[in-house]
A and B are shown apart, each in its own frame.
Chain A
Amino acid sequence: MKKFLYILLTSAMLPVALLIVITPMDSQKQYIFGFISIGLLFLMGFSKRRSISVIMVVMSLLMSTRYMYFRLTQTLHFNSEIETILGMGLFLAEVYVWVLLLLNYLQTIWPLKREIVPLPDDMSLWPTVDVYIPTYNESLDVVRDTVLAAQCIDYPRDKMKIYLLDDGKRREFAVFAADVGVGYITRNDNSHAKAGNLNHAMKLTQGELITVFDCDHVATRIFLQATVGGFLKDPKLALVQTPHYFYSPDPFERNLSVGRNIPNEGTLFYGPIQQGNDNWNATFFCGSCAVIRRSALEEIGGFAVETVTEDAHTALKMQRLGWKSAFLDIPLAAGLATERLVLHVIQRTRWARGMTQIFRLDNPLFGRGLTIQQRLCYLSAMLYYQFALPRIAFLTAPLAYLLFNLNIIHSSAGLVFAYALPHLFLAIYLNSRMNGRYRYSFWGEIYDLVLAFHLVLPTVVTMVFPKRGKFNVTDKGALLNVGYFDFRVVRPHLVIAILLGIGVIAGIVRACAHDYYGVDPSVIALNVGWGLYSLIFLLAAIAVARETRQTRKTIRIEVKIPVLIHYASGISSRSQTADLSMGGCRVELPDDRHLTDDIEEVELLLQSGAISIPVNVVATDEHFIRLMFEDIPLARRRELVRVVLARADAWIQPPKPQDNPFRSLFTIVRCVFDLFWLTWKTRRENRRAQAQVQEDGNA
């Protein structure tokens, strides 16, 4: 009955929609139409209900389709070959954006907020779990805490086995595994990198469930008890994926002055997108922080080895065979973000190549076993990675007019703007409304721009020749000793930025003397505006290349944990931490005793047990004292991991405040301003420092 009503509704609305899309209007009417729709949107915006969002999505799609129809039917007239090429290029880029918008709406329109499925009280029913920690060339310092955290997972000891899968076949790793009491597996070759490593381990182990942690992903103690329940409840469930939470800042967070105030780059994917995927049973496997059913993996022949993003491909294969997948939106493990921009670019290049490979080799649109929604979700992800060319097209389009006086859009500036306004406005507004806590407006442009020039070649080449190319592992854990500006990474950006700058200036000049030049001021205004818009984002993207120094190897976590301060005199005082890391902690000073009495040990008080660690004083001020942990044996280090990294609530943060597009734009402008300001400031400081050194030398 409901279905019938829906069909009736849609078929009634269809002619109306068609009318909205194709009715041509002149500039004035279109402006009014646009403003009415924007007004309607604001009115509806007072309601936060999801059903209203659906209506808004329909409105946005109608406006965008109207714009595309307008472009298609009215603006594709060119005067020369070069204009045709550039004009069509731009139009195709807009088609791409339109398709992606549609797919994105479908993907995220109804995110699934999954709950934890509790495990039964009878522990004999709990399944056996194998925990795989694959590693290749990462240092033991990084892997050690991951293994210790895995040992802290609350699960019956006889039902959980941990294995260190060492493709580097390093002796110190073997010794470590023996010391700490976990399994150690190696193989004779290194074929198919991580996937091959995992497949090899599968042959030697027997757990009903398999959990994979990247070598830097420390699990919280609650990981298995929060994820395994679903497998018992639903025998067709093959995968439970949890978010990749980063406790170290990514290049955007670290290098941009405002980096820490915005939701980070991964939040959108590990929030609305995966939740949206989950609604359509299309959750992607992300290679780590997930639990997979062994029988499902065996049915597909193990982890997929045909592409460089073996994780996404593995999930696709399982879904083709009818297995279900789930996404639990609670951070149950945390890892290290890519340290530097260049590493970020390398990582994303691999993802782009991998997704393109899947598109070519195992296209989700074809083949059996998937629902239409699953196909569209995968298509959305794959098409997303083709953004390089379209982005560059958008970026450089104003240059065609500003520098070369080419008309690539055949229409008056006013009319184009009238059609484009509701199209852009609704899309931005709606994205802000639906995803505002996970990604602030306009930041997607910056993330994409940073990568755009680097992805052109890899995606195009892989699209044509899917089997070419090597797999680079992302380097994790190296220390950045000195700040510098990574010109290498942003060279193409700088070139385009300069061109845009020139174009904008040229445009302004011509606008000021428009009578002399005989040009339409509104066209110039449009192009200059567009150019400036692009320039701002480009400069923000360039700002990310300003690598700041990372001063310490261990990451500090702000948390208040009760501590006992043990002094040499035998006195023990009680206080709490201000921050905590694997290397030390900062403690609130309860009194002045530390001035006269040595602090020997500090005891962290967790409900499940206390741990006492010998310390040295690093620094002190009137309110806090910073202490460094001395070396402790492995068994105690495990307890320290339990307190610092494996706490069940360690990574659960309140979401960031809701987005406001204007504020977001302003933040980005501030970023750009800070790029120049901070660069100038550091230069000045360096000059002063140099002058000081010279003075000292002379004196």
Chain B
Amino acid sequence: MSLRPKTDVRRKLRIFAVELVIYSGLVTVYFLVVLHFLSDWLVQLETRHVHTYAIVAILLIIGQAAVLEAVTTGLLRLLRRAFRR
């Protein structure tokens, strides 16, 4: 009986670890993409259109955090379905 909660915690931690690995990969790729494609544009924006830069900055940081987390959750769901099949 006491083994069940332990197994449950272990299972939850394993799912969390997988989620974290996927998420880490995505946030890193996201940063590299922004650096490669948007770096020069952001520098120009920061010097010429500060208000737009401020909004873009907030959107980029929220995008990195929230959108990628949603993508991770979606990917995990797909992976789980694939494994069940």
Q: Do these two chains interact?
A: no
